[in-house]
């Protein structure tokens, strides 16, 4: 039996296990993209009724030469696969995603994941520097979970570790500019027996070389920015406000749900008569 009190730890896995691991970069190819698209989208379609998103214009309206860092909350196992769908299915770019203990899941390297060791702050620097270097590839988007560890769904307040601000600082020095895109992700049961994925892209934040950033204040600003976007998304969906959402995929209703819909229509017709 699972002990619920042990589901969420404040200590990152690599620090908890106190093991040094060699850094593993992403290793993508056209072949593995086909495999990833087949496997990950099949997994999503098997477990979710629909995948809906809005605000993608906040990504597409950026200048082509601007590196982009997406950042999102991290509350469950599905987040990584949703990140893959966001990047490959909506943005049509390869994903770059930090994963602790990547050696336990080596195939994820081919989906665009690279390892990070949080045993010590110094140990994590290799991954942070690699992430900044990968921003030079216009075919990739960097996707981060700045909270650093998995938190319970809709955990508040959202607080970030300092890694994101560090990467922004280094990326601006290297490329002259960088765009930051908050991404709200949530999972809702609506009127179907399967949940739906809802993704909302927030307004893009652009940082340029001549701007001076206080790392601590900027970290707090980005965390608050994501929290406000997530709260807005939750409020709108809980009040049945679905304006602006596009659909990446939507399943056909199960046979018993189709019968239910027909019975409802029959009942409505009978009442009208």
Q: What is the pLDDT of residues 219-257, one digit of tens each?
A: 999 999 999 999 999 999 999 999 999 999 999 876 566
Q: What is the pLDDT of residues 62-89, one digit of tens each?
A: 998 999 999 999 999 999 999 999 999 9
pLDDT of 246: 98
| Residue 267 pLDDT grade (very low, low, confident, very high; cuts 50, 70, 90) | low
In CATH, 4-272 is 3.30.70: no
Distances (CA, A) of 47 to 23, 37, 39, 247, 253: 32, 16, 13, 16, 13
Q: What are the DSSP E strand ranges found in the chain?
A: 50-54, 68-71, 94-100, 113-116, 140-144, 177-188, 196-201, 205-208, 246-250
Q: What percent of the chain lies above the pLDDT cut of 90?
A: 76
> What length is written for the chain?
273
pTM: 0.91
pLDDT of 256: 65
């Amino acid at each position: 039996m699972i002990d619920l009190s042990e589901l969420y730890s404040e200590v990152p896995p690599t620090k908890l296990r106190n093991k040094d691991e060699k850094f593993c970069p992403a290793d993508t190819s056209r072949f593995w993209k086909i495999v990833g698209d087949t496997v990950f989208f099949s997994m999503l379609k098997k477990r979710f009724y629909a995948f809906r998103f809005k605000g993608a214009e906040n990504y597409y309206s950026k200048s082509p030469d601007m590196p982009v860092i997406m950042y999102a909350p991290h509350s469950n196992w599905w987040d990584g696969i949703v990140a893959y769908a966001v990047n490959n299915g909506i943005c049509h770019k390869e994903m770059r995603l930090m994963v602790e203990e990547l050696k336990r899941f080596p195939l994820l390297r081919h989906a665009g994941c690279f390892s990070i060791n949080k045993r010590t702050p110094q140990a994590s620097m290799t991954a942070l520097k690699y992430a900044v270097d990968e921003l030079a590839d216009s075919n990739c988007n960097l996707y981060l979970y700045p909270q650093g560890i998995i938190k319970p769904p809709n955990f508040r307040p959202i607080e970030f570790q300092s890694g994101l601000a560090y990467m922004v600082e280094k990326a601006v020095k290297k490329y002259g500019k960088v765009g930051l895109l908050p991404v709200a992700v949530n999972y809702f049961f609506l009127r179907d027996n399967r949940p739906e994925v809802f993704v909302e892209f927030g307004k893009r934040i652009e940082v340029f070389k001549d701007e001076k950033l206080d790392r601590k204040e900027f970290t707090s600003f980005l965390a608050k920015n994501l929290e406000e976007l997530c709260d807005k998304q939750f409020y709108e969906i809980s009040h049945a406000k679905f304006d602006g959402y596009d659909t990446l995929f939507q399943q056909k209703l199960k046979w018993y749900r189709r019968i239910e819909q027909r019975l409802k229509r029959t009942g409505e017709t009978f009442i009208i008569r």
